[in-house]
């Protein structure tokens, strides 16, 4: 394919518009969120993100786009501690969606789960009685809210038969959702050889849970949970400090330090922060809050193009129609510094010549969005309709015209 810069983004009263040289169908303007007058502060440079003073790695991500807004050591392998249980939650939700388990399944708190993760251990526990069952959803809340290691083991045994077999599922799903630098050997996160992840992978995991299984994610905002006579609070202090925070998970071991993956939604914008290896339970909350506040203050998320909307009608040879409509199959979103929306520049890479037949959803090219020379978003362009081959005389005529023109 030969790239053609056909699409330009310019400041207009309605927001981002498409100016196509030789375009036949202009793309619709995205949500005109940037039509407001520029503030004086928009011209100022963005200050550096408030990096935690003590941490092994940290990151702030825009949940809608997956863009990393700031971070340090984001791909350095670290111990995830109990944030591991977010991966466990993802596997359980995925297996439930596949019909392999149900929310009302009776889950046994086995003696193994109780001895390895119960009240007699140094780690967090849920309090479910040994050799008795509880509904799967209740056991999962004991794992998510109370960070129960015993509940995580019991759930792993119920889903896969053993912790080892469940870890294989964890790694398979991790690969499926794009975690490139992670490996799990248990469902709870206690220190073990070969059990590691990265801040970037954890943010991607949190994003995937929010996107794919919102009901399972909703358990993370529960502030306290009771099992029998024992009521325990959620260890995520931000749930009490910031009403926009609805997750995600804390973690702590002596070797991992204090860890927190948090997420907050303000308006239509959601951010995910990850702080690994902080100095205390309170400090991880303070550092995470600072990152979230910084992100919401200095960045905004824009929906540039809607799925299924025509961005261009391309000339088509030898088809039952003379053109084919192309667009994006998923909404194209981008995160930008506040006040920089009008500086976005978009371009399409399209084939020089296109011939029928064309299948609906067939990839035709791509669109990329740049800001100050840096790519901030990219998406494939696909055919929005199927176009069959034309009749014999149509194909013959187009053969002649193609020869004549080139």
Per-domain residue ranges of the chain: 2-30+306-405, 57-301
Q: pLDDT confidence of 355, banded at 50, 70, 90?
A: confident
Is 360 exposed, middle or buried (CB count within 10 Å of its CB: 0-12, 13-18, 19+)?
Answer: exposed
Give the model confidence (pLDDT) of 387-403 as tens digits.
Answer: 888 888 878 887 788 78
Residue 18 has pLDDT above 80, yes or no: no
Residue with tokens 């910084």: 294
d(CA 50, CA 124): 30
Q: What SS3 state is found at 324?
A: strand
Catalytic residue among 55, 56, 85, 124: 85
Per the prediction, the chain carries an average pLDDT of 88
Alpha carbon of 239 to those of 51, 225, 250, 264, 389: distances in Å?
A: 21, 14, 12, 10, 59
DSSP string, 103-161: TT-EEE--HHHHHHHSTTSSS----PPTT-EEEHHHHHHHHHTS--HHHHHHHHHHHHS
Q: What SS3 state is found at 23?
A: coil
Residue 221 has pLDDT above 60, yes or no: yes
Catalytic residue among 55, 126, 147, 273: 147
3-state helix, strand and coil shares in percent for the chain, rounded to the nearest 5: 30, 30, 40
Catalytic residue among 55, 56, 82, 126: 82
Residue 6 has pLDDT above 60, yes or no: no
Give the residue-averaged pLDDT of 304-318: 89
pLDDT the model gives residue 293:
98
- Contact assessment for residue 287 and residue 50, using Cβ atoms and an 8 Å cutoff: yes
The dihedral built from the CA positions of residue 78, 82, 87 and 88, taken in this order, carries a sign that is positive
Query: Is 147 a residue of the active site?
Result: yes
Q: Which structure tokens are listed for 174?
A: 């991790």
Give the model confidence (pLDDT) of 66-112 as tens digits.
Answer: 999 999 999 999 999 999 999 999 999 999 999 999 999 999 999 99
* Architecture of the structural domain at 57-301: 3-Layer(aba) Sandwich (3.40)
Give the residue-averaged pLDDT of 168-186: 98
Where helices occur in 19-132 by DSSP H, the ranges are: 84-97, 111-117
Residue 177 has pLDDT above 60, yes or no: yes
Residue 39 has pLDDT above 90, yes or no: no
Residue 201 has pLDDT above 80, yes or no: yes
pTM of the entire predicted model: 0.82
Q: Higher pLDDT residue, 315 or 142? A: 142
| All residues at 6 or more sequence positions from 22 whose CB lies less than 8 Å from its CB, including other chains | 6
Residue 10 has pLDDT above 80, yes or no: no
Length reported for the chain = 406
Kindly report the CATH number that applies to the domain delimited by 2-30+306-405. 2.60.410.10
d(CA 191, CA 149): 12
pLDDT the model gives residue 117:
92
- Contact assessment for residue 164 and residue 171, using Cβ atoms and an 8 Å cutoff: no
Query: Is 82 a residue of the active site?
Result: yes
d(CA 395, CA 163): 61
């Amino acid at each position: 394919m030969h790239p053609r810069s056909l699409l330009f983004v310019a400041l207009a009263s309605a927001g981002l518009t498409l100016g196509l040289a030789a375009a036949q169908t202009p793309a619709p303007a995205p949500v005109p969120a940037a039509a407001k007058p520029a503030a004086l502060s928009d011209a100022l440079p963005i200050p550096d993100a408030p990096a935690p003073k003590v941490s092994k790695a940290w990151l702030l991500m825009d949940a809608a786009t997956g863009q990393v807004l700031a971070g340090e050591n984001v791909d350095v392998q670290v111990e995830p501690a109990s944030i591991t249980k977010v991966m466990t939650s993802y596997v359980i939700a995925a297996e439930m969606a596949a019909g392999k388990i149900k929310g009302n399944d009776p889950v046994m708190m086995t003696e193994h789960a109780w001895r390895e993760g119960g009240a007699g251990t140094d780690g967090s526990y849920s309090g479910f009685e040994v050799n008795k069952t509880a509904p799967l959803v209740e056991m999962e809340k004991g794992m998510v809210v109370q960070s129960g290691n015993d509940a995580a083991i019991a759930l792993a045994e119920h889903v896969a038969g053993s912790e080892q077999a469940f870890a294989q599922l964890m790694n398979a799903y991790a690969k499926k959702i794009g975690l490139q630098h992670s490996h799990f050997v248990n469902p709870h996160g206690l220190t073990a050889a070969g059990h590691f992840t990265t801040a970037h992978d954890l943010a991607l995991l949190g994003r995937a849970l929010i996107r794919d299984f919102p009901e399972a994610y909703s358990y993370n905002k529960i502030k306290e949970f009771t099992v029998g006579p024992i009521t325990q609070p959620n260890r995520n202090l931000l749930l009490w400090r910031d009403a926009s925070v609805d997750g995600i998970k804390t973690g702590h071991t002596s070797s991992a330090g204090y860890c927190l993956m948090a997420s907050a939604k303000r308006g239509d914008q959601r951010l995910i922060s990850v702080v690994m290896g902080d100095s205390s339970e309170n400090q991880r909350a303070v550092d995470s809050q600072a990152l979230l506040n910084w992100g919401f203050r200095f960045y905004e998320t824009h929906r540039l193009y809607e799925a299924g909307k025509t961005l261009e009608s391309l000339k088509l040879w030898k088809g039952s129609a003379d053109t084919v409509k192309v667009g994006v199959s998923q909404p194209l979103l981008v995160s930008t510094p506040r006040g920089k929306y009008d500086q976005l520049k978009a371009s399409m890479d399209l084939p020089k010549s296109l011939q029928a037949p064309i299948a609906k959803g067939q990839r035709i090219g791509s669109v990329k969005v740049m800001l100050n020379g840096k790519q901030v978003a990219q998406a494939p362009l696909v055919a929005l309709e199927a176009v069959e081959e034309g009749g014999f005389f149509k194909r013959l005529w187009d053969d002649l015209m193609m020869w004549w023109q080139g």
